[in-house]
Chains A and B, each alone.
Chain A
Amino acid sequence: MNIKFNNQVPTDREVVLGILNNSEEALNKLYAAYFPMVLQFILNNSGDEDEAKDVYQETIIVLYNKVKEGSFELSSKLKTYIYSVSRRIWLKKLTQRNKKTSNIADFEEVLVVDDDVEQHEQKDLQFDKMQEALENLGEPCKTIIQDFYIHNLSMQDICEKFGYTNADNAKTQKYKCLQRLKKLFFNN
């Protein structure tokens, strides 16, 4: 099993600085560098490539959040950290499916990353709540909210995009949408 990753592996420092600077290039490099490792792990432990993708992306999000929070310390190799987080996430999924996790085929050394993964799970819960609330919000509210909060459009832009006669109408509409969304989000 000595297949070289065909992409250049960025240095650990490069990755951390890249994330802090919102560098897309660094993120792409990071992604390409360690995906094969996680893919190999998942494929050899009763998963498929789609599951590998999900687990790997969750892992990158964990790393990303940790770096952004400033709590990521390069005490171990980034590779080991990514492997350990992916492994932890995958084992939890296997357990949820009632599959046995006693005979795990390992390819790298493993760190204890339970805390990081648990923190991530809390955040992921919030994410799912928000996503569900938005899904249940319906149009045009969903698009208005997404445009304002995610794509950072101004109320003026939204007013024009949706053809409201004046900005006040748009604001009222957004307010109604927001009230409903908050209700959905908090009462869920």
Chain B
Amino acid sequence: MREADLEAIIEDYLNDKLNTAEREAFEQLRKNDPIIDHKVVAHKVFLDAMAQYSTVVKLKEQLNYAHSQIDVDTLVEAYKPHPSKIVQLWRNNKAAIAVAASFLILAMISIYSIQNNSKQAGSFEAMSRDLAQLKRSQNNLIRNINSKNSSTNRTPVARYGGTGFAVSANGYIATNYHVISGADSVYVQNNKGVSYKVKAIYTDSQNDIAILKITDKSFNLPGLPYAIRRGLSGVGEAVFTLGFPKDDIVLGDGYVSSKTGIDGDTLAYQVAIPVNPGNSGGPLLDNNGNIVGIINGKENKTDGATFAVKSKYIMEALNAIPQDSLSRKVTYGKKSQLQGLKRNKQVERMQDYVFMIKVYN
């Protein structure tokens, strides 16, 4: 039998085109000859593949025809990604944006609740002697009316009071900005009752710090006994302040009660020292005589919750002043001469460097 004839018979057999006698004869042949059997199997695989190929080719022709009936350009126009980058970004990253947004919302909620929880009921009250002075001037006025004496040669009475402290030997004094803001003229008075006129050299309303300079060029102090502390104070650390809530210097003693000021203000400490109007601008010192802050206010509803600007902002203020104009300025991060002294000795050494600020307007 020729190969070509065999092939034809196999194909006819697979296509079921043999009559019964032929089929039986062929199946017998196939059974006895493994080579023929193999050829049958191989040809079946081939024919199946060809049939599938044929089906798909025809189907594709039909699909291409169907495709040609569609106005693809119009559809592309309608469905293509939105030209706007934002909309596209949104569509492509819906999931990611949603996750990010929920985190953001969660974060905002938690921050809000933390703030709410930590919000102090009271509000901040600057500790300059504003009200006290007003009252006093009113009293003066009444006395004037009653006595009917002329007051023409009366010296003007200071409207505000505060405290300041020397930051250099040649008359630079640090205090609170709120003490001197809006002033026409400012004087400082030392513990012995001598007044000097000062002018504001530097003000920083954000940190509530002002640097004043005594205008008298002959003014000079011996070297400063205290230093400015570099590090932060910890909660519970003992601190004290000197100030002029009245005309004589007053010592206030206490401890750092919180590392943040009102409403979590990180610029300030909260300290447990009872203060009164007039303490504003006073130095806050640790036991070793290092300045850790400036008293600048208290909470009006809680007794003993006083706030102090942190020392590093004093340093920032000093660095803003031309350095050659500061003679023997307060040292930063060095050992204080007050270290190891008893409190009464510390106050004694310091009191010549703490001033009452008097503001006229």
Contacts and interface: CB of A to CB of B under 8 A. Distances in A.
Contacts, number: 98
Contacts of A129: 49
Given A31-B63, A60-B63, A175-B7, A44 B70 contact: no
B69 interface: yes
A36 B63 contact: no
Contacts of A178: 7
Contacts of A149: 50-51, 54
B92 A105 contact: yes
Interface stretch (B73-81, B164-172, B183-191, B204-212): B73-81
A112 interface: no
Contact of B53 (A39, A105, A130): A130
Contacts of A182: 42-43, 46
Interface in A44-67: 44, 49, 53, 57, 60-61, 64
A105 B57 contact: no
Contacts of B94: 105
Contacts of B75: 35-36, 39, 49
Interface in A78-132: 103, 105, 123, 126-127, 129-131
A153 interface: no
Contact of A64 (B49, B59, B78): B59
Contacts of A64: 59
A40 B74 CA distance: 12
A172 interface: yes
Given A35-B70, A127-B53, A43 B8 contact: no
A103 to B, nearest CB: 5
Contacts of B43: 182
B79 A44 contact: yes
A73 interface: no
B76 to A, nearest CB: 5
Contacts of A60: 59, 63
A126 B46 CA distance: 10
A122 to B, nearest CB: 11
Contacts of B53: 126-127, 130-131, 150
A57 B63 contact: yes
Given A36-B79, A49-B72, A27 B7 contact: no
B56 interface: yes
A153 to B, nearest CB: 13
Given A103-B92, A105-B94, A126-B53, A39 B76 contact: yes
Nearest to B11: A178
A179 B8 CA distance: 12
B50 A172 contact: no
Contacts of A171: 4, 8
15 contacts: A27-B63, A28-B62, A35-B75, A36-B78, A36-B79, A39-B72, A39-B75, A43-B80, A43-B81, A44-B81, A53-B72, A61-B63, A130-B50, A131-B53, A149-B51
- In the A-B complex, list the 5 residue pairs whose CB atoms are closest, starting with the nearest: A31-B66, A40-B79, A175-B4, A130-B53, A150-B54
Interface of B: 3-4, 7-8, 42-43, 46, 49-54, 56-60, 62-67, 69-70, 72, 75-76, 78-81, 91-96
Interface of A: 1, 3, 24, 27-28, 31-32, 35-36, 39-40, 43-44, 49, 53, 57, 60-61, 64, 103, 105, 123, 126-127, 129-131, 149-150, 171-172, 175, 178-179, 182, 185-186
Given A31-B66, A32-B70, 14 more contacts: A3-B79, A27-B63, A27-B66, A28-B66, A35-B70, A39-B79, A43-B81, A44-B80, A57-B63, A60-B59, A61-B56, A105-B92, A130-B49, A182-B43
